[in-house]
């Protein structure tokens, strides 16, 4: 059984938490409200509920270095939240997505089967021409025949930079037999992660900031028993207030074209439509940008309306058994959107 020993070098410098690695360092603000302001300058907005949830989550994840699990519907910005945190403060981010065919080797790595037939021959050459003992040759071969998993990348980045964000998205998509591995990954109140069956001794590393995310209503095979849920701090990440949809729509479109009152009213109206249809804020942003591009390029109403309808209903395209329903809903939605677009597209 291998292990990852998480012993980061952490110091406080004025308003920053500094994680020191072997080659570089990571600096994150002490104050979560500073992070919120930086996010909103980049167009990621919070309502009051999400502002409080983020501040609590940030304290847990960064200050206490305890794993967190964001629980909320699609489109509420969970993935973007993590990527933006890494982007703004130059923190390495490794993203892994759950799926129903997942295997432990995706985390810990494994042997490249294609390299096995020549492994013995190479080992013999090492012993004959390099003067190695056979055991030394086998150890050297690990770099040839071993394929690293996500954890190897995470560990290397954390060791090099002092900290790394490990984001495991769609946790509910993992099959039930992956629960023991997930328990090891999300174990809290520890400085060591044990990795069963791993051929690599990871050794000491920096801070691995572990974040999981799931849609509680999504289809999945993992049975979240208490043993797993005790490993993480649960953070609700629900739907945004409609005012955030409107704000994101206006902000996104204003980066493409100059807004006037009529265009603002259309964008707000479409943002409400997106919210009422149960879609996330990312869809509202995409719709607003599509309208703005349509205005800028002088596209006709039907083309823009079709594009928007496709974006809103894109999830239905994955269900091949309901294509007739998709066409019916898309045609009806397209006509509705076209009426809303006429004041700005003519």
Tens-place pLDDT, residues 68-85: 999 888 888 899 999 999
The pLDDT score that the predictor gives to residue 106 is: 80
Distances (CA, A) of 28 to 38, 63, 154: 12, 10, 18
What are the backbone dihedrals phi and psi of residue 286, each rounded to the nearest 5 degrees, phi first?
Answer: -60, -40
pLDDT digits (tens, 9 = 90+) for 165-192: 999 998 888 888 888 888 888 888 888 8
The pLDDT score that the predictor gives to residue 149 is: 82
Q: Does residue 106 come out as left (phi exceeding 0), alpha (psi in the -120 to 50 range) or beta? A: alpha
The answer to whether 182 and 229 have CB atoms below 8 angstroms apart is no
User: Hey, is 250 helix, strand or coil?
Assistant: helix
Q: How far apart are CA 311 and CA 50, in angstroms?
A: 25
The pLDDT score that the predictor gives to residue 334 is: 94
Which class for 51: exposed (0-12), middle (13-18), buried (19 or more C-beta within 10 A)? middle
Instruction: For residues 21-33, give the mean pLDDT.
Output: 96
Q: Does residue 93 come out as left (phi exceeding 0), alpha (psi in the -120 to 50 range) or beta? A: beta
- pTM of the model as a whole: 0.80
Helix (H) or strand (E) holding 3: strand 2-6
Instruction: For residues 131-142, give the mean pLDDT.
Output: 67
Residues whose CB is less than 8 angstroms from the CB of residue 312 and which lie 6 or more positions away in sequence, other chains included: 274, 277, 279, 283, 287, 333
How many beta carbons lie within 10 A of that of residue 222, not counting itself?
21
User: Hey, is 260 helix, strand or coil?
Assistant: coil
How many beta carbons lie within 10 A of that of residue 251, not counting itself?
17
Mean of pLDDT over the chain: 86
Least confident of 104-108, 237-241, 284-288, 307-311: 104-108
Least confident of 128-142, 239-253, 304-318, 321-335: 128-142
If pLDDT is split at 50, 70 and 90, which confidence band does 230 have?
A: confident
The pLDDT score that the predictor gives to residue 196 is: 73
The answer to whether 167 and 211 have CB atoms below 8 angstroms apart is yes
Q: Does pLDDT of 314 surpass 60?
A: yes
Least confident of 65-69, 199-203, 265-269, 341-345: 199-203
Q: Does pLDDT of 54 surpass 90?
A: yes
Of 282, 301, 294, the closest CA to residue 341 belongs to 301
The pLDDT score that the predictor gives to residue 229 is: 76
Instruction: For residues 331-342, give the mean pLDDT.
Output: 95
The answer to whether 320 and 238 have CB atoms below 8 angstroms apart is no
pLDDT digits (tens, 9 = 90+) for 253-292: 999 999 999 999 999 999 999 999 988 888 999 999 999 9
The pLDDT score that the predictor gives to residue 134 is: 65
Specify the higher pLDDT residue, 323 or 255.
255
Give the burial string for 309-343 (b: 16+ CB within 10 Å, else e).
bbbbbeebeeeeeeeeebeebbeebbeebbebbee
The answer to whether 167 and 213 have CB atoms below 8 angstroms apart is yes
**What radius of gyration, in Å, describes the C-alpha atoms of the chain?**
24
**The Cα angle at residue 167 between residues 161 and 171, in degrees rounded to 5:** 155
Q: Does pLDDT of 136 surpass 80?
A: no
If pLDDT is split at 50, 70 and 90, which confidence band does 298 have?
A: very high
Which CATH superfamily is 2-107+148-236 part of? P-loop containing nucleotide triphosphate hydrolases (3.40.50.300)
Specify the higher pLDDT residue, 142 or 195.
195
At which residue do the structure tokens 């439509």 appear?
Answer: 273
Q: Does pLDDT of 221 surpass 50?
A: no
If pLDDT is split at 50, 70 and 90, which confidence band does 231 have?
A: confident
If pLDDT is split at 50, 70 and 90, which confidence band does 305 have?
A: very high
Distances (CA, A) of 163 to 78, 210, 215, 313: 20, 11, 27, 38
DSSP assigned state of 257: S
Q: How far apart are CA 12 and CA 295, in angstroms?
A: 49
The pLDDT score that the predictor gives to residue 139 is: 67
The answer to whether 272 and 250 have CB atoms below 8 angstroms apart is no
Least confident of 25-39, 150-164, 196-210, 300-314: 196-210
């Amino acid at each position: 059984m291998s292990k990852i020993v998480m012993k980061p070098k952490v110091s406080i410098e004025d308003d920053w938490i500094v994680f020191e690695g072997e080659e570089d360092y990571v600096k994150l603000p002490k104050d979560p409200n500073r992070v919120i302001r930086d996010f909103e300058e980049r167009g990621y907005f919070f309502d009051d509920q999400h502002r409080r949830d983020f501040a609590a989550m940030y304290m847990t994840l960064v200050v206490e270095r305890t794993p967190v699990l964001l629980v909320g519907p699609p489109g509420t910005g969970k993935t973007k939240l993590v990527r933006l945190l890494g982007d703004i403060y130059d923190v390495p981010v490794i993203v892994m997505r759950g799926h129903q065919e997942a295997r432990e080797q995706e985390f810990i790595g494994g042997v490249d089967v294609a390299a096995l037939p020549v492994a013995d021959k190479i080992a013999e050459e090492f012993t004959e021409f390099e003067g190695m003992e056979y055991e030394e040759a086998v150890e050297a071969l690990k770099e040839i025949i071993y394929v690293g998993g996500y954890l190897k990348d995470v560990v290397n980045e954390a060791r090099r930079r002092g900290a790394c964000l490990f984001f495991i998205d769609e946790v509910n998509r993992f099959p039930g037999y992956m629960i023991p591995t997930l328990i090891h990954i999300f174990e809290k109140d520890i400085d060591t992660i044990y990795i069963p069956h791993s051929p690599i001794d990871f050794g000491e590393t920096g801070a691995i900031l572990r974040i999981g995310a799931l849609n509680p209503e999504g289809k999945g095979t993992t049975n979240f028993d208490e043993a797993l849920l005790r490993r993480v701090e649960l953070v609700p990440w629900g739907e945004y207030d409609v005012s955030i949809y409107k704000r994101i729509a206006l902000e996104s479109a204003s980066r493409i074209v100059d807004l006037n009152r009529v265009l603002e009213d259309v964008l707000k109206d479409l943002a409400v439509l997106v919210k009422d249809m149960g879609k996330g804020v990312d869809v509202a942003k995409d719709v607003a940008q599509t309208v703005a591009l349509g205005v800028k390029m002088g596209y006709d109403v039907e083309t823009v309306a079709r594009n928007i309808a496709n974006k809103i209903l894109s999830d239905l395209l994955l269900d091949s058994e309901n294509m007739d329903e998709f066409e019916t809903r898309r045609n009806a939605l397209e006509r509705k959107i076209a009426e809303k677009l006429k004041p700005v597209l003519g």
